[in-house]
Amino acid sequence: MKKSKDLAPIAIPHGPPVESTEEYFKSLMEQARLVKKYPVWDVPRPTPQVLVEQARRDLMEAGEKLEIKRREETEFRQIMDKKWNELRTKEHLLKESFISFNKFIRENEEKRVRAEKKMKEDQETLLRRTQETEAMCRRVEEMESVRGLMEKQVQDYADYLMSVVQKYSEFKQPMDVLNRYEALASAKTTLAERQERDLEKLEEARQQMAHLTEEKKLFIMGLNNRLADLRRNYDKTRNRVVKWELALSRLKETAARRHVELCHVRAAVRALYVRISRQKGLPIAARADDYEAQLVVIMRALLELRRIHQIAIDRAAEQLAQTTKCMCELLD
């Protein structure tokens, strides 16, 4: 691609950057105060060709800048990739060094802990051995003293046995005394075992007796509870019997009264029946105990009397009405 010539190249100042910066800002301020006037002939005419050329020039400049940026980006990308690879390598090496260092520290820590534990165990073992040795020494001393005491006691017992043999003619030598003692000790042990068995049997019998006593107590308590229930039921039944006896006596009294009343009613019915039959001149055909037939005759008589009474009332009303009518006519 052909590069266009820059008609107004940028002049890069020489010198320290601080002085150049100061001159740059001064020039910007002076340029802002200046009035820009362009001659008429220097102003481009807005024709399509000029605009196209201007756009083509801007496009070429933008393409050149873009290409430069692409090359810079490619170079920067290569540099960054190289740095990233270096960083990854360093990171991997650092991780491996950390892992190895951590493993080394862990191994040293484990060795130190094992060594401290071993030293502590050795100290404890040494202390325990020392204590056991001191205890054994004291035990040996005690055993020595016990052995001396036992030797003295054995000598005393031997002298005592010799005195017993010399005193009692039934013993010929000290072994006879020992044999007699062993026989007595064996007999004592046998008697103690027999006594223990007898005591065990006595304890079992006592426990059985206590168990039987407890069972009998429970049985007696059950019988007492049953007796109490039976007494309660008896009292309830007795109260109920008394209640029903009273009710029966009241019923008997009521029945007696009702019987007396019934006898009076029957006598009244018989008397009324006989009277009605005699008044009507009817024969007394019903039996004395046939109260239904007698009541039928009495009912018919009562119905006839009711009908006669109603007729009398009606006639009296008619007569009263006629009398009233006559009196009204007379008054008129």
pLDDT digits (tens, 9 = 90+) for 41-73: 555 556 777 777 778 888 888 888 889 988 888
Instruction: Tell me what pLDDT residue 278 has.
Output: 78
Tell me if 143 is assigned to some domain: no
Tell me if 67 is assigned to some domain: yes
Instruction: Tell me what pLDDT residue 21 has.
Output: 67
In the predicted structure, residue 170 carries a pLDDT above the cut 50: yes
Nearest-5° Cα angle at 330, 326 to 332: 115
Total domain count, the chain = 1
* CB half-sphere exposure, 332, CA atoms < 13 A: 6
Tell me if 301 is assigned to some domain: no
pTM of the model: 0.28
Task: Return the higher-pLDDT residue of 250 and 179.
Answer: 250
Range of the domain at 82: 43-124
Q: Which residues contact 277 (CB under 8 A, 6 or more apart)?
A: 283, 284, 297
| Helices and strands: H and E segment counts in the chain | 4, 0
Q: For residues 235-253, give the mean pLDDT.
A: 89
Distance between CA atoms of 30 and 17, rounded to whole angstroms? 20
Backbone angles phi, psi at 69, to 5 degrees: -65, -40
Tell me if 275 is assigned to some domain: no
Tell me if 74 is assigned to some domain: yes
Q: For residues 171-198, give the mean pLDDT.
A: 82
Tokens representing 233? 């039921």
DSSP letters along 224-257, please? HHHHHHHHHHHHHHHHHHHHHHHHHHHHHHHHHH
Residue 82 has a CB neighbour count (10 Å cut-off) of 10
How much of the chain exceeds pLDDT 70, in percent?
A: 86
Tell me if 63 is assigned to some domain: yes
User: Quick check: 215 and 207 in contact, CB under 8 A?
Assistant: no
